[in-house]
């Protein structure tokens, strides 16, 4: 997916708020929260996204620790959909 397609889905409803189910070309899909950090615009311009995966969502909501996130390439995404909380 392009960064424009991803951004249109995320902003303003999902960014830092609600989980998104992310489907990939070469890996299993999962739910995660796209987060906005100081480098958000720079990463977005390169189609990279900082995502807290479902295994760390609860901890991230409590601490807002950005180290719990991983960076993913948006070009590998095939579909975004409403996710579910664990």
| DSSP reduced 3-state for 61 | helix
Specify the pTM.
Answer: 0.91
pLDDT number for residue 83? 81
pLDDT number for residue 11? 83
Domain boundaries defined on the chain: 3-82
For residue 7, which phi and psi values (nearest 5 degrees)? -60, -40
For residue 28, which phi and psi values (nearest 5 degrees)? -70, 150
CATH class of 3-82: mainly beta
Residue 10 has pLDDT above 80, yes or no: yes
Query: For 10-21, what is the mean pLDDT?
Result: 88
Identify which of 56, 52, 20, 19 has the alpha carbon closest to the alpha carbon of residue 37.
52
Query: For 49-67, what is the mean pLDDT?
Result: 95
pLDDT number for residue 81? 94
Q: What confidence category does residue 43 fall into, taking pLDDT thresholds of 50, 70 and 90? A: very high
């Amino acid at each position: 997916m392009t960064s424009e397609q991803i951004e249109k889905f995320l902003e303003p409803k999902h960014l830092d708020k609600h989980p998104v189910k992310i489907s990939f070309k070469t890996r299993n899909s999962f739910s995660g929260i796209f987060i906005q950090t100081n480098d958000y615009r720079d990463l977005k311009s390169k189609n990279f996204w900082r995502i807290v995966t479902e295994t760390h969502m609860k901890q991230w909501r409590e601490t807002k620790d950005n180290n719990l996130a991983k960076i993913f390439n948006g070009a590998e995404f095939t579909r975004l959909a409403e996710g579910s909380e664990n």
